[in-house]
Amino acid sequence: MFLGGTIHDVAQVVLCISFIVRILIKPKDTSDGRPPILPLFAIGFFVLATLNSLGFIPVWSADFAGVLSRWALLVAVAAVGNKTSLGRMVQVGPAAIALVFVETIFLGVLILCGLLILGR
């Protein structure tokens, strides 16, 4: 529960939807180089969230998508960890490393306080 409090479920859904959208829909070419005003994955997220809220998506399908998205998030986080270079982090400087450390401690304390307040 502690670790789950710092992981955003929205990221899981967005990752899963963007994967599905990239397979099913080929984005149109923007010759001027500007990104679209509303990303396609955001539209897909809104559509799927609406369909799920209205009960059009079967429970088994939503459960499977949830499990799949958690595994996809695990793979994505592992990939980021593999790309992290400790040598480059040292080059960034101690202030950036201290910021990451303080932010991690802050999130941990925030989640612990929330768990204590909720009594879980």
pLDDT tens for 73-91 read 888 888 887 777 777 777 8
Q: What is the DSSP letter of 30?
A: -
Which letter does DSSP use for residue 58 in this model? -
Contacts of 73 (CB under 8 A, 6+ apart): 7, 11, 12, 15
Same domain, 77 and 117: no
Structural domain boundaries enclosing 15: 1-84
**Is the per-residue pLDDT at 118 higher than 80?**
yes
Q: Which of 28-32, 76-80, 93-97, 98-102 has the lowest mean pLDDT?
A: 28-32
- 65 lies in the same domain as 111: no
Burial of 30 (0-12, 13-18, 19+ CB in 10 A): exposed
Looking at residue 27, what is its pLDDT? Answer: 56
Residues 10 and 49 in one domain: yes
